Structure formats: C-alpha cells, structure tokens
Amino acid sequence: MDCSSLLLLVVTVMITSECSGSAEPRCEGFDVEPYKLLEGQALHFVPYALESDDMDDPFTWFRKNIGDETENITTNEEERVHHHGGALFLLNPLVTDSGFYTARQHASSGRCYEYYLNVTVFKANRTYFSKVLFLEIKNSDENKHIPCPDPIRNICTALDGSFTWSKDSKLLEGRDKDHLWIDKASRADEGIYTCNCSWTHGGREFTSSGSRWLRLEDQGVHQKVVIISGGDEQLMAEEGAGIALPCSVFCGINVRYECDAGWWVDGVEADGIDRYSVATETVNQSPSSKTVSTAILTIDKVSAEDFNATFECRGQGIDTSRSSFLTLKRRESIVPLLLGGVCVLCLCVFAAALVKCFAIDLLLFFRACFPLSRCDRDGRLFDAYVVYQTQSPDKVTEDALCQFLAKVLPSVLEDKCGYRLFIHGRDDVPGEDRMELVEDRMKQSRRLMVILTPGSGSESQSSDQHSVSPQNSEIGGFDWQVGLHHALMQREMSVILIQLGDPGPQGYAHLPAGLQHLILKSAPIRWPQGSRGAAAWNSRFWKRVRYLMPNTPAKRCPASAVV
C-alpha cells in the first residue's frame, strides 16, 4: 500500500469516528395511547410499557403543537401540566391541553425509549359526553358486573385514591370499590354509571372519572336451526355474468352467539376459495327479536366449473346444524329463441300470404282430389241457370254475348269441367209454356249465373230495341225477376255475377235494386275478353268461376243423389 492510500484510509476512519460519536442514539418507540376526558377531570398517566423499576431513570416530556413546534413539559409540581419522572400530570385540564405528548427515557443501559400519548379534552357538556364513554356493558346476564375503567382504577391504585360511584350523575351511597354489582338487573337499572376516583397531589384534591353505559338485553332462546333461503333448488345462471347467492338461517330469539350462516362448495368453505367472496351478517329482527344470520356468496363471473359444483348453504346453531344444497343451471341464450320466433312468424306470414293468394287454387285442388266427398244431395239437375239480357244496345255487345254464351261458357264449364248448365234460349223445350219452363228450371238449378252487359236490366234501353219481339223482352224480364226472387227472398241458390265489357260511367246504378244489393255483397267477375289464355279452363277468371260453382258437378254425383 502506498503512502497516499494509507493517508486516505486514516482520514476516513477519523471522520467516521467523529460522526458516530457526535450522533444521538436513535430511540425505540412504543404504540400511541389515546385518552379522552372532560375539562376539570385530572389525568395521571404512566405509559403501560414502563416498568416500575424504571421510574427513577432520566425522563424528558415534551408536546408537539401546531406546526410541529416542540414544547417541553416542566417538572415543577405547581404547574397544571408537569411530569414527575415517567408520570405525566394534567391537573384541571383545558381544551387547549389537547395534543400529542412524548416521554423520552434514557435508561441506565444506555438505550433510549419513547412513549406516546394522544390527549383529547372536551368541554364538560352533554354534547361531548358520549365521546368519553368507555366500553359499553350489554348482555343478557341476570346479575350485572360493572368494572371501573382501567385508566381510572390505575390512577387510584398508584395515588392511593378512593372510589365512589354515580348513576346518571346521582351519587350511589355505600359503593366504594373498584367495581359494581347489580343483582337481578331490570330496565330501571339501565343508564350511565360513572366511576370516580378522588386523589391528592401537592396538597390539593383532584378527581378522575370514567363512565360506562349499561343496557339490558332480553335473554336469548336458542332453537333448532331453520334454513330460510339458499338451497334445495336449481338456480338459472348465465355463463360470464355475476350472481349473488343468499343463505339465511334462523337460530332463535335474541341470540347473540352461536348463530352462523355460511357457504360450502363441494365440501370446501367458500370463503377460502379465491374466485368467491362471502359477506356474513347476523341481526336480531325488530320487533320480533328473531335472530337471522345471512351469508351472501358473490360470484363475479360464473364459469363452466360452477355449473358442475354443488353449493351448500349451512346454518350452525348452539347445538344443531342444518344444510341445504343448490346447483346452477346454464341459462340458454335468448338469441336462438328470438331467431326461432322470428322464423316461425315469417313462415306464418308467408303461409298466410300464400293461402290468401292461392286460396282458390288450393280449394280447387282438394275438390279434384276428393271429387265425391261433398256431393250435393239436393236432387237438382242443373249446376247453374244462366240468365242474361235478351237484347243488347249495340251489335258489338250482342256479338260478344252470343260468343260467350254459345262457345266460351259451354266449352269450359260443360266440356272441360263437367258442369250441367241451363242456358235460356239454348235449352228451351219447344212447345212448353215459357213461364212454367223458367220456374221449373230455376228450381232445378243450384246456382244463378247472371251475365251483365252494358245496359243490362235497363227498361228504357229495352223499349227502344225493335229487333227483338215483345215476347222475348218479357221472357227476359221474367228470368231476372224469378232468379232474384229465389236468391234474395227464398235464399235457395247462390248468385254468380259475370261482367262482359265495361259497365260505363253509370256503373250499376241502372240495375234493379235487388241486383244492386247482390253486387254490393259480391263484386262481379270481369271477363277478360281478348286477353291471352282467357278461354283456358285453368285461367284466373275460370278458377274464380269454378270456385263459386258447386263442389261436384250434378252429373258426377251417384245416381241416388239425383232424383
């Protein structure tokens, strides 16, 4: 080692020795002791950790004020606040004496100790009286034991003081011990009991007091444990969602102890499982005084493992226990149910639309499948009696009517569909009375088919036609009257209205009132003359006509069905 290194080492050692010799040893501290008292009540305080043999060691007391200013406590016993070794005296304390006091002890062993006291002084009035009460006496014992609070008893023991007791500020005669017994306590004995210690210091007498509140409880009655809620059921839960499971048990009347509710999961206490949290509370219900303990198991996120677990709600009383079990069932998502409902609704709407659009087609299809299922057994020979205007206002309308009656109508309904029609002018029997013929054929027909043309039923137009004989005009008018009578008055036959051509601006106002009534009930089926496929038996027009015709043509019914 060279000289420079050696010199540096010597300097370092000297500096370290000087610093360590000048530094004050660090003191070992104890817990802070809080103390509350009213103005005028003297305080004699000795730290609880201080041994009696150490009272002669050097002590310094000081107080920290606002702003961490330190105020030393004097040893002059004439002062209100002073100390005598390790004992601190607050004689006739004031509110301003509140603060944080520290006692520093320099022990003979060379070690340093610090003791701390936090004093709070309240004004002597009822507002702050409850803040200086010591532990409350509250139980259901028949005989009550009220001990003097430990700080007051320690003062009397250390300073050879004397005890007195008061209840609600009234002196209790003959009570001079450090505790109080009340035999067979009743509601009249409830109140605030104060232990007073009178002691002398420096030739002056001081008093220290401590109060407790005595309250009576009704005597508890334990009963067999009953599970109120929390088991014997299956609870719906959704995976990933939170859930709270309450477990409530009844233990008796006014029971303070031995009434506990709890949750176990697969035989393990739930409070010890990380993914669960349990909050427990035991209360005496008012006014029944029934003791009920409730434990709430909270699952923040339900997992697949929870659906396979068994949850046990367990109640424990003083001599009985009871358990009930609960399992979680997965709640199915509502989305598939909603989608299924929407699909069913759409199908129903679609089916309803199809039925509405193709109702006639469906009916005709079933008629073809079951041709004899609904054969009319009325003995009538004709499926429809065709009535029409026997005279037309113009040549075009007359030709269209003749074409429809002579070719189109028979070729579809008779030739292709098998119906039997009675068409006036075509099926008349020569030589037979016209009126009797009309009446008889009308009774033998199941439907009245009315062919409407522009000007149908107009008497004014009929009177102007000279190409038709008066007899034909009269017969045509009689057809209308008989047909309307059967359809409206006797209700023996249904009416099928077919419109040829455009009815014109006057509409149907020129028709007889009975016929107008039928048109209001059922609009005429318009013949689409000139349209492609109009004459086909499966066109839309003929499907509507066939729909209004009898289910089964008269010629297809069994022989027994036709007279």
Poorest-pLDDT segment among 219-233, 342-356, 411-425, 465-479: 465-479
The model's confidence at residue 459, banded by pLDDT at 50, 70 and 90, is very low
Euclidean distance between CA atoms 494 and 449, whole angstroms: 9
451/425: higher pLDDT: 451
pLDDT of 128 over the 80 cut: no
The whole-number pLDDT of residue 392 equals: 63
User: What is the fold, at CATH topology level, of the domain defined by 28-122?
Assistant: Immunoglobulin-like (2.60.40)
pLDDT of 298 over the 80 cut: yes
Euclidean distance between CA atoms 362 and 354, whole angstroms: 10
**Most confident stretch, 157-161, 480-484, 517-521, 525-529:** 157-161
Query: Domain-by-domain residue ranges, the chain?
Result: 28-122, 133-216, 224-330, 333-369, 374-556
The whole-number pLDDT of residue 372 equals: 52
pLDDT of 297 over the 50 cut: yes
CA-wise closest residue to 316 among 259, 268, 267: 259
Q: Which CATH number fits domain 133-216: 2.60.40.10, 3.40.47.10, 3.30.43.10, 3.40.190.10?
A: 2.60.40.10
pLDDT of 513 over the 90 cut: no
**Average pLDDT score over residue span 492-508:** 81
User: What is the fold, at CATH topology level, of the domain defined by 224-330?
Assistant: Immunoglobulin-like (2.60.40)
pLDDT of 250 over the 80 cut: yes
Euclidean distance between CA atoms 198 and 378, whole angstroms: 127
CA-wise closest residue to 536 among 447, 413, 364, 421: 413
User: What is the fold, at CATH topology level, of the domain defined by 374-556?
Assistant: Rossmann fold (3.40.50)
531/259: higher pLDDT: 259
pLDDT of 430 over the 80 cut: no
Poorest-pLDDT segment among 67-81, 90-104, 152-166: 67-81
Paired tokens of 51: 């041994």
The whole-number pLDDT of residue 13 equals: 40
| Distance linking the first and last C-alpha atoms of the chain | 151
The whole-number pLDDT of residue 468 equals: 35
187-214 pLDDT, tens digit per residue, is: 888 889 999 999 999 889 999 999 998 8
pLDDT of 104 over the 50 cut: yes
Residues 6+ apart with CB under 8 A from 99: 63, 64, 65, 118, 119
pLDDT of 309 over the 80 cut: yes
CA-wise closest residue to 462 among 394, 391, 521: 391
The amino acid at 69: E
The whole-number pLDDT of residue 390 equals: 67
Q: What angle do CA 462, 464, 469 make, to 5 degrees?
A: 70
CB contact at 8 A, 333 and 316: no
332-377 pLDDT, tens digit per residue, is: 767 777 888 889 998 888 888 877 777 676 777 677 676 554 555 6
The whole-number pLDDT of residue 12 equals: 43
Average pLDDT, the chain: 80
Domain 224-330 matches domain 374-556 at the CATH topology level: no
pLDDT of 496 over the 60 cut: yes
Q: What is the dihedral sign for C-alpha 356, 360, 361, 364? A: positive
The whole-number pLDDT of residue 491 equals: 66
